[in-house]
Amino acid sequence: MRGAETRASLPALFDLTGQRALVTGAASGLGLAIAEALLDAGAEVVLSDSNAQALDAEVQRLRQTHAQVQQRVIDVSDGAEVDRHIDAIAAEGPIDCVFANAGMSAGRGFLVEPGRLENVDPAAWERVLQVNLTGVLATLRASARHMKPRQQGRIIVTSSIAGMRSEANSGYAYVASKAAVNNLVRQAAIELAPFNILVNAIAPGPFATGINGGRLRLPESAERMRIYIPLGRIAEPREIQGLALLLASPASSYMTGAIIPIDGGASAR
């Protein structure tokens, strides 16, 4: 009987009905895939992005099958703008889950001439850190301010395996920002644990998205990854959905401060 009761309760562990979530950087790629998974699990989801046109197109598509979808144009590099929008979302109802997913590439790594150390552009460096690191901090800060009084919440950050080790194919600003994000997640997880706010990071490996100009979608990139990735292929955005749903749902009730790779085995080498 106990086994039957356990099996019957399993679907509820991944049910987000009645939950409200925000996903930044949700007009394409991993952010859009995450938003779709949350919607399918029953959550009301606010998609945000700095690209208003792409965001509106995806939201209009999603509204054909999901009534519980909203949108907000947010540039996460502007902390005041992040505060204003998250305050407005919270004024409409509790925020249960936030995915700080918005980010940008720093271009190619040092395997090509433009990506070498002596060619790092200070302005580009500052822009990448402003989006990838300061933008995550702004999202964490604003989200925690509304979650603390309720003594509950989940914040999930999109990091990268490039933040866990050296990564020759990634630009300096990208690897630096993602490494910093990982420790930011750990620090926030410890501070917010007494408030039952769980803070974790997803660290993707190579996914076929539009980042870095969509370079990983090219056949030659796929061929190189067959050697670099133990599973022998580049992932599709939908393959992040299971992990994202786990971290957003009651199933992850004892997880915080984790940096979880999803990389086809690359970080195991």
pLDDT in tens, the chain (269 residues): 344 444 547 889 999 999 999 999 999 999 999 999 999 999 999 999 999 999 999 999 999 999 999 999 999 999 999 999 999 999 999 999 999 999 998 888 867 878 787 888 899 999 999 999 999 999 999 999 999 999 999 999 999 999 998 887 888 999 999 999 999 999 999 999 999 999 999 999 999 887 655 566 566 666 766 778 999 989 999 999 999 999 999 999 999 999 999 999 998 88
Question: What would the two tokens of residue 23 be?
Answer: 């996903």
Percentages of the chain per state (helix, strand, coil), in multiples of 5: 55, 15, 30
Q: Quick one: pLDDT at residue 57?
A: 98
- Work out the angle between the directed axes of helices 135-147 and 172-192 (0-180°, nearest 10): 10
> From the candidates 172, 174, 228, 254, which is the catalytic residue?
174
pTM (predicted TM-score): 0.91
Is 174 an active-site residue? Answer: yes
Angle at 59 between CA 197 and CA 62, to 5 degrees: 90
pLDDT at 188: 98
Give the residue from 9, 15, 22 showing the smallest Cα distance to 42.
15
- For residue 243, which amino acid is it? L
CA distance 255 to 197: 10
Classified as helix, coil or strand, 239 is helix
Amino acid code (one letter) for 239? E
Tally of helices (H runs) and strands (E runs) in the chain: 9, 7
Contact indicator for 222, 235 with CB cutoff of 8 Å? no
What's the CATH code of the domain at 49?
3.40.50.720
How many domains does the chain fold into?
A: 1
Domain that holds residue 47: 2-268
pLDDT of residue 2: 40
- In three-state form (DSSP H/G/I as H, E/B as E, the rest C), the secondary structure along 150-179 is HCCEEEEEECCHHHCCCCCCECHHHHHHHH
The CA R_g of the chain, rounded to the nearest whole Å, is 18
